[in-house]
Amino acid sequence: MKIALIRLRESGQIVTYKIDEGVNVNDYVIIEADRGTDYGEVMEVNEAAEPKEPAQTESSVKNIVRKVSPQDMERIKQNEADAKEAMRQCSRKIGEYKLSMKLVDAEYSFDRKKIVFYFTAEGRVDFRELVKDLAKVFKIRIEMRQIGVRDEARLFGGIGPCGQSLCCVKFLKNFEAVSMKMAKTQKLPLSSGKISGICGRLMCCLFYEYKTYKDLARGLPKEGDVIDTPQGKGKVVSVNILKRLVCAELEDGRIEKVSFSCSCEASRGDKPCDAQPKPGANAPQKERPSEDDKENAEDKKEE
């Protein structure tokens, strides 16, 4: 059974659906929803015979009704135009109720049986009376969904510090927790202004690049360590993780460059990793264990 990950509407959640032949990534499709029909964009097609989630069976995964037709697209555009007017009315109601929330966006479902209002707020907001009032105005199901600043950035889009479109808009399906430890591992400046995205949070790329840096750093010494080099012992003064190149200061003050062979997962197999040293590069007499290796050894002792 082929399945696809589909993002509901323009900014909704990502759900799993059975896919028919002829439906490809980036196609817009009409899908079965909880209450009626909706539309979404195909984010990923899984060629595997089994669904990604073991708990799912073929009967539990919903179906794609059809690919979006020109008539469907006209309806979607009309829904988007009507959603802007609905957003203006909702903003006015929020002001009347004096609720501490910022309305970000609004979306109609394809069959217009539901409208979703996205908002940000510092804490919990009691919007029950607001929902009742809006239901009287629109006479359809009203859903208020609180989102974070990263979701807000995804809704509006933009260009990241790297000069490319935001990862959350371009390909990321879910947001993961990003920590300063990831920035430290990648040897980036620990100034929040330099490693934060337009949402004000740490950049998402720190998360999905972290594993590569962690693999490449395996077996490398740290700055301040003393290592053996072909020219004698030296103190590590700098480490280039991507090139797996270490600069060590010898006792006479000279700087010796030492290349380490790659031990990352990319080099295990027929295709070598790009981080492998070139022929003739200096290699240390003994590789010192990395911090991750020490932690793993301590974990084994505790077990």
Smallest CA-to-CA distance from 138 within 154, 117, 165, 156 is with: 117
Six-digit token string for 30: 């009409």
Total residue length of the chain: 303
In angstroms, the Cα distances linking 42 to 76, 164, 169 are: 16, 22, 13
| Cβ pair 234, 227 in contact under 8 A | yes
| Cβ pair 115, 142 in contact under 8 A | yes
pLDDT in tens, 89-138: 999 999 999 999 999 999 998 889 999 999 999 889 999 999 999 999 99
| Cβ pair 65, 138 in contact under 8 A | no
CATH fold of the domain at 74-147: GMP Synthetase; Chain A, domain 3 (3.30.300)
62-67/14-18 β-pairing: parallel
Match 């990831």 to its residue by tokens: 182
Q: What is the pLDDT confidence band of residue 144, given thresholds at 50, 70 and 90?
A: very high
Can you tell me the distance from the alpha carbon of 44 to that of 171, in angstroms, rounded to the nearest whole number? 9
Query: Which range (49-63, 76-90, 255-269) has the least confidence?
Result: 49-63
Smallest CA-to-CA distance from 172 within 120, 208, 215, 198 is with: 208
**Counting Cβ atoms within 10 Å, is residue 21 exposed (0-12), middle (13-18) or buried (19+)?**
exposed
pLDDT in tens, 153-182: 887 778 888 888 888 877 777 788 888 989
Phi-psi map region of 244: left, alpha, beta (phi>0 left; psi -120 to 50 alpha): left
> What pLDDT shows up at residue 281?
37
Work out the percent of the chain whose per-residue pLDDT is above 90.
21
Average the pLDDT over 270-294 and give the result: 41
Task: Say what the pTM is.
Answer: 0.64
> What pLDDT shows up at residue 284?
39
**Counting Cβ atoms within 10 Å, is residue 298 exposed (0-12), middle (13-18) or buried (19+)?**
exposed
All structural domains of the chain with their residue ranges:
3-68, 74-147, 152-215, 218-302
Q: Which of the given ranges, 21-25, 127-131, 195-199, 225-229, has the highest pLDDT on average?
A: 127-131
> What pLDDT shows up at residue 1?
66
Q: What would the 3-class secondary structure string for the chain be?
A: CCEEEEEECCCCCEEEEECCCCCCCCCEEEEEECCEEEEEEEEEEECCCCCCCCCCCCCCCEEEEEECCHHHHHHHHHHHHHHHHHHHHHHHHHHHHCCCCEEEEEEECCCCCEEEEEEECCCCCCCHHHHHHHHHHHCCEEEEEECCHHHHHHHHCCECCCCCECHHHHCCCCCCCCCHHHHHHCCCCCCCCCCECCCCCECCHHHHHHHHHHHHHCCCCCCCCEEEECCEEEEEEEEECCCCEEEEEECCCCEEEEECCCCCHHHCCCCCCCCCCCCCCCCCCCCCCCHHHHHHHHHHHHC
